[in-house]
Structure formats: C-alpha cells, structure tokens
Amino acid sequence: MGEFIASLDELVPVDKAQQVILSQVKALSQEDVDLIEAYGRTTAVDLSSDIDVSPFDNSAMDGFAFRATDVADASAENSARLQIVAHIAAGDWYDQEVQPGQCVRIMTGAALPDGADTVEMIEKVTFTEQGLIGDYLVMDHPLDLGKNVRYSGEEVKAGTVALPAGTIVGPAAMGLLASTGNTTVPVHRRPTVGILSLGSELVDATEYPARGHIRNSNGPALSGCVRRAGAIPKVYPTLADDYDAIKATLAQAVAECDFVISSGGASAGDFDYITDIAAELGQVFFKYVNMRPGKSQTFAMVNGTPFLGLAGNPAAAICGFEMLVFPALQKMQGRKAFFHPTQQAILGKDTKKKGTRENYLRATLTRDAQGQLVANPYKNQSSALFGTLHTSDCLVLVPGEVNFLPADSEVTCVHLDIDAGTVI
C-alpha cells in the first residue's frame, strides 16, 4: 500500500492523521549518558545486571537470625532459648555457621550467615541481659522458614535483564540501574523540535505591542509542550507574513532539527503561505484534520524531516500538538506507548456541539458524592484562550457524529499532563 496523500480540501480523521505522521518517523539513534542524567530518557537496549540483586541473603529487619527448626515448638509455656553468638551490622560479614541452638543479633540489610534461615524483629522477642554476644534469645512462638529474609537475586539475577529497551527511566529505575552496575545508560537521542511562529501581527513577548499587534504567546507555549513531551525546543525568530522569509527559515529549520512545527499561516487566508511553502520544499500529506480546535494542520515531509503547520489560535495549536505531534515525539524517543493516557468519566452537564468535527473540550474533573469521576467542560471553548487550557485537567472527546450528549453520559477524557502509557 502506498503513502496516504489527502487532497488539500479533505478533512482527515484524527486517527488517520496520527497514523500518517507516525508512519513517517522512527526512533532516533542512541547515545550514552551518565546515570544521573538518565532521568526521563528512554533506554535504547536491554540493560542487564552484572550481579545478583541482592548479592546475598540479608535481613529485612533489625532483630535476630536463627534456624526456623529451633523455634518450631516454641510457645508461651515452652519457650526456646538460643545463645547469641554474634552481633552483625550492615556491611559486616560473619564467616561462621550458625549451629542448632544458636542465633545472631542482626541489623537490617546485614548478610545472613550460613545456618541461619529466618529472622524475627527485635520488637517481638525477649532476651537476657542486653541481648548481646553470650546472652540468650527467648522465643515464645514459632516462625515460618524464611520470615523476614531477603534472598540473593530476589530483585534480579546476574546476567538477566533489569530494564528492557523502551523503558522511561524514573527515580526507581535509576536506583535499579545503580544496583545492577549500569552507570552509563544507552538511551535514544531526544528529538530537537524547531518552533516557528508566523504572523505580521506578532511581536516578542518582551515588547509592548503597538496597535494591531499581539505578543507571541504560542512560541513559549509550544516550547513547554515540546519539553513536556521529552524533546528539546529550538525557537526561531518570529516571522512576518513574508513568503520568502518563511521559506528560508523553514528550510533552515528542517536542516537543523528532527521535527519542525509552526503556528499560524496554515489556513486559507490571503497571507497563509505555509502549505504552499511546504509543498514547494517537500511533500504535503494533508492540510485539514477533522478536529476542533485545530482544523488547519499542514503535515509534510521536507528533506526527510517531518513538519506540522499548526493553527494560529492558542488552544488550536496546543490541541493539535498534543494529539498529532506528541505521539510522534514519543516514537522518536523509542518509547513503547505513544499517546496521552485516557480515562472514562461522566459529563456533569448537557453538552452540545455543531458540525461533524471531533471536538476536544477543555474540562475540569471532580468526584461526585458516590466517588464517580465527573468531567465539567468549560462554557467558553474559544480557541483563542490560554486560561481554560491552563486550568483544565483534561480534554473531553466528543465524537464527530455526536451533536448532543446529556449529563451523565460516559465520555473519554484525554490527560495532557501525564506520561504516555500511564495507567490512571
């Protein structure tokens, strides 16, 4: 089957647009980073352990270690007395075998000596004198074999995989990598994403806008989106509606970046040039996506680099990024899950929409008296607003064929601030 190329007036379904973009990207090459710098990165290969973790049987409690058979018949009426023959701290190694009728006082994490197979915590025993070497442990209850013992290789065995390829490295994974000797971590390279802001009306955020002008807010917002996706933003100077200037900058950006996005200039206005420029420099796959906000979305491959021309309205630009660019950036980082996690909720009020586009409504989530998750879409869904995006917990998906959903309808909520693949 050949590549999907839509006509420039075709409304491409969201899932089809996602498939098209994902088909044009692949995981980036690997690089080695220091373990301390590996947080949030994605492992490029299976990472194995050079030792058993734990490397030895050890105590899970501060207490006493002994043979379980020595206390098998212990009771309040018939207590067992075991002589304390050693006091073992974490880091110590006792090289004698614990004999029947003997025990050792042991600290959490200390190696279990030969002969001992069970540990009881200090709070549940009594002892003579100070409970040190030469004194006696008094046990009035039996204990299961292996109680309070952490076994050698319980976490991972030497030579086996500790973290598989495609794992996002979090704090616990960093600890596991340290335990298994992986202090240099092969990870996929993070994509650099070029960001172009288009429009003669735009001025830098540091400037006080003159009449008819507005500050460039999409550039910083999309930079945040890129960082949240795990990638590296590269912001280019704001561009006026000048065909040649936009063309030159787009050509520069695709040469320097792994993915390029722009905001503005993607619709059908007199000065919306980005689709024509993308077609001149590369291959355009589609121009419109069947979603609201964010209908105008030009996707092209330009000299081997994916490019998406986002709509200019803030909510449209961000929604377009999160639904179309975010998944591609996850794939480029070698991750196993590409899409934002979703969750089911019920609508808090009747919801209407016009037309056949798939709607993504900014909404907040609450719990009702029964603990049911309730989604409450904002009344004002203007695509020009940042505020409702900033305070939203999710986007409520209203399918294209649906124009009315009554309160208490079950809906799908898309979470934007949680890692892809997270179970919620």
Tens-digit pLDDT profile for residues 375-420:
999 999 988 888 888 899 999 999 999 999 999 999 999 998 877 6
Q: CA 379, 376, 295, 194 torsion: positive or negative?
A: positive
Please state, for a pLDDT cut of 90, what percent of the chain lies above it: 90
pLDDT of residue 236: 97
Q: What is the mean pLDDT of residues 67-84?
A: 97
Q: What is the mean pLDDT of residues 153-163?
A: 97
Tell me, yes or no, if the pTM score tops 0.75: yes
The residue whose two tokens read 């596991």 is 176
Residue 421 pLDDT exceeds 70: no
End-to-end CA distance of the chain: 36
* Distance of alpha carbon 380 from alpha carbon 382, whole angstroms: 6
Residue 34 pLDDT exceeds 60: yes
Torsion of CA 68, 73, 75, 77, to 10 degrees: -140
- Residue 153, CA atoms < 13 Å, CB-side half-sphere: 9
Show the CA angle centred on residue 375, arms to residues 372 and 377, nearest 5°.
165
pLDDT of residue 424: 63
pLDDT of residue 384: 86
Backbone angles phi, psi at 262, to 5 degrees: -135, 160
pLDDT of residue 267: 72
* Distance of alpha carbon 234 from alpha carbon 196, whole angstroms: 9
Q: What is the mean pLDDT of residues 120-124?
A: 97
pLDDT band at 1 (very low <50, low <70, confident <90, very high): very low
Q: What is the mean pLDDT of residues 34-50?
A: 97
Q: CA 50, 52, 55, 61 torsion: positive or negative?
A: positive
Tokens found for residue 137: 């442990």
pLDDT tens for 218-250 read 999 999 999 999 999 999 999 999 999 999 999
pLDDT of residue 3: 79
Q: What is the mean pLDDT of residues 317-343?
A: 96
What mean pLDDT value characterizes the chain?
94
pLDDT band at 48 (very low <50, low <70, confident <90, very high): very high
pLDDT tens for 275-323 read 999 999 999 999 999 999 999 999 999 999 999 999 999 999 999 999 9
Q: What is the mean pLDDT of residues 68-86?
A: 97
Residue 266 pLDDT exceeds 90: no
Given a contact cutoff of 8 angstroms between Cβ atoms, the answer to whether 32 and 186 are in contact is: yes
- Where is average pLDDT lowest: 29-43, 115-129, 132-146, 406-420? 406-420
* Distance of alpha carbon 55 from alpha carbon 155, whole angstroms: 10
Residue 129 pLDDT exceeds 80: yes
Residue 74 pLDDT exceeds 60: yes
107/383: higher pLDDT: 107
* Distance of alpha carbon 387 from alpha carbon 390, whole angstroms: 5
pLDDT tens for 160-215 read 999 999 999 999 999 999 999 999 999 999 999 999 999 999 999 999 999 999 99
